[in-house]
Structure 1
Amino acid sequence: MAENTTITLKQFGTPVARMCEVRVDARPRLHLGLLSLHEGAFRKNGGIGFAIEGPVAEIEICESSRLVIRDDRPLPMATSEQDILGEILEQFALDHGMARRGAIHISGGMRTHVGMGSATAIRLGAMEALALLNQTHISTERLIAASGRGGTSGIGINTYFNGGLVCDLGRPSDGGPYMPSSRTMPTRLPLALPIVQMPPWPILLCVPRSIVPKTQQEEIAFFERTTPLPATASFEAAYIALFEIYAAVAERNYHAFCRGVTLMQETAWKRAERAEYGKTLHVLSMKLLDAGADCVGMSSLGPMLFCFADPSRITAIAERAEALGCDVYRTSPANAGRSVAKADA
């Protein structure tokens, strides 16, 4: 569970920013894989992943007579998703006695439905901004609980506040089916191991333009037909997460980390996720490796791929990815959570 409940309020004073009272810049995360998905599991789900510096979602709030959401990112949320966010924020305000409503403006480069964790980051950011607009202190635990996120994965709810590498041990199994976060209302939040600081290894994000991201309904259908997995599949994924990836980051061992990322791609769950995109994604991964990447992985249910490589090769790999039809973002691991700012008084 995220421990950082302290918010550092910075001042911002650009002409646009002065129009709004609070801004939250939420970072994305990469999710490397779920871990415990077998029948009869003592703990379900779990996972491993880490925060990255960008592209961020910028969430600004200005006082308004009613709650309004405008998503001006190049690829915004669907209208139905904005409506759901609005309903959650309205209920959040009512539950905590908030009198002021806000016009929420979402901008920035964070993508939706490609594997960046935008649903969790934007929801938490909008809720935190609304609470700050009302000068209402909400603890980390209450904020997460009110968001309804974290039912399947504890990565995004931790990286939002703290950054770093998170190894999530899931939550006690309730005997229910395995479902994505969009359909899971957590009764208990996931248990996370101590967060580990990520070294500043360069990362390239590659979003293939020719692959259509999965909808929420397609993601639900994928869980229904793929789970439960054999127990041995969970044991393998958990071993790789702990003894390969988590340990490698703690020891700052780049080559061991890349080996762990590669091995996680071959686990039963990750193979099933990648198979959703067929040969196209596999060929793209192979070409990125041929271009000099040390490891290539898919975040969440994709279709975004991420690459780690020596800094001297990043530019060449980026050019190759663009030639292969990808939107490319250069970034690095983040060891801090969201940043919060308020307008000049």
Structure 2
Amino acid sequence: MSRIAIRTPSRLHFSLIDLNGGLGRIDGSAGIAIAQPEFRIIAQKANSVLINSNQYTVRAQEIVEKLKKKYNFPGISIEILSEIPAHYGFGSGTQISLGIAQVINKLYNLKQSVQELAVAIGRGGTSGIGITAFEQGGFILDGGHKYPDQKSSFLPSSAAGKVTPPPLLIRCDFPDWDILIVTPDCNQISGE
């Protein structure tokens, strides 16, 4: 296989169930996968890293470099044709990370599961909604992390270190309902 195309869904994350481990498990999440907005990624093998994207060039480069270090492949050419807007609650970080990891996985026949790819790129340390949305879609409920053995404090995935994704408790098809999402036309405060 020399060229691959992939689409990733967005996700809506309804809540974390336990932020302090009081129930014996920290985190735990409920959410659904939605078809739009989506990432559409086309990739092919290359001898260097080439990224073509409107807003995700730097992020994509970081993901590829992390994966190159772990899996030792020569390079990749990635074109991101459509993008999930960042910082609107659609899970763009997990979806771009898994989308890129999966095209590399397929092109270089790495034979890694989506769960293994998630650990390699540092996703799923808090919630498993985005990972299961990527792989299976639907309505998703995950069981969080055993407290304090697997995780001892509330942290986002990016800061949770090598915490593995939580176990999937329930995954079922979500009805084909229209969902109205309204995003305000104002400055974002993410990262401030």
Report the TM-score, using the length of structure 1 for normalisation: 0.51
3-state SS of 1:207 partner: coil
- 2:42 is aligned with 1:60: yes
- Closer, same or farther in 2 for the Cα pair 1:124/1:109, shift >3 Å? closer
Q: Which of 137, 145, 153 is matched with 1:163 structurally?
A: 137
Deviation at 1:78, TM superposition (A): 6.9
Amino acid across the alignment from 1:137: K
Match of 1:131 in 2: 105
Deviation at 1:126, TM superposition (A): 0.5
Deviation at 1:185, TM superposition (A): 2.4
> What is the CA–CA distance in structure 2 between the aligned matches of 1:201 and 1:40, rounded to whole Å?
35
> What is the CA–CA distance in structure 2 between the aligned matches of 1:78 and 1:21, rounded to whole Å?
19
Match of 1:3 in 2: none
- 2:15 is aligned with 1:33: yes
Q: Is the 8 A contact 2:39 2:96 kept in 1?
A: yes
3-state SS of 1:208 partner: coil
Structure number with greater Rg is: 1
Q: Where in structure 2 are the equivalents of 1:8-157 lying within 5 Å?
A: 21-38=3-20, 40-72=22-54, 76-77=55-56, 79=58, 81-94=59-72, 98=73, 100-157=74-131
> What is the CA–CA distance in structure 1 between the aligned matches of 2:108 and 2:44, rounded to whole Å?
11
Deviation at 1:41, TM superposition (A): 4.3
- Closer, same or farther in 2 for the Cα pair 1:178/1:78, shift >3 Å? farther
Q: Which runs of 5+ in 2 are unaligned?
A: none
Amino acid across the alignment from 1:206: V
> What is the CA–CA distance in structure 2 between the aligned matches of 1:161 and 1:211, rounded to whole Å?
32
Deviation at 1:144, TM superposition (A): 2.2
- 2:186 is aligned with 1:210: yes
Q: Is the 8 A contact 1:149 1:185 kept in 2?
A: no
Q: Is the 8 A contact 1:114 1:213 kept in 2?
A: no
Deviation at 1:53, TM superposition (A): 0.9
Match of 1:238 in 2: none
Q: Is the 8 A contact 2:95 2:130 kept in 1?
A: yes
- 2:166 is aligned with 1:187: no
Instruction: Please identify runs of 4+ aligned residues in structure 1 that moved more than 3 A.
Output: none
% identical equivalent positions: 29
Amino acid across the alignment from 1:212: Q
Q: Which has the higher strand share?
A: 2
**How many residues are paired up?**
190
Q: Which runs of 5+ in 1 are unaligned?
A: 1-8, 10-19, 219-345
- Closer, same or farther in 2 for the Cα pair 1:67/1:162, shift >3 Å? same
C-alpha RMSD over aligned residues? 2.1
- Closer, same or farther in 2 for the Cα pair 1:31/1:83, shift >3 Å? same
3-state SS of 1:50 partner: strand
> What is the CA–CA distance in structure 2 between the aligned matches of 1:22 and 1:188, rounded to whole Å?
28
> What is the CA–CA distance in structure 1 between the aligned matches of 2:184 and 2:28, rounded to whole Å?
27
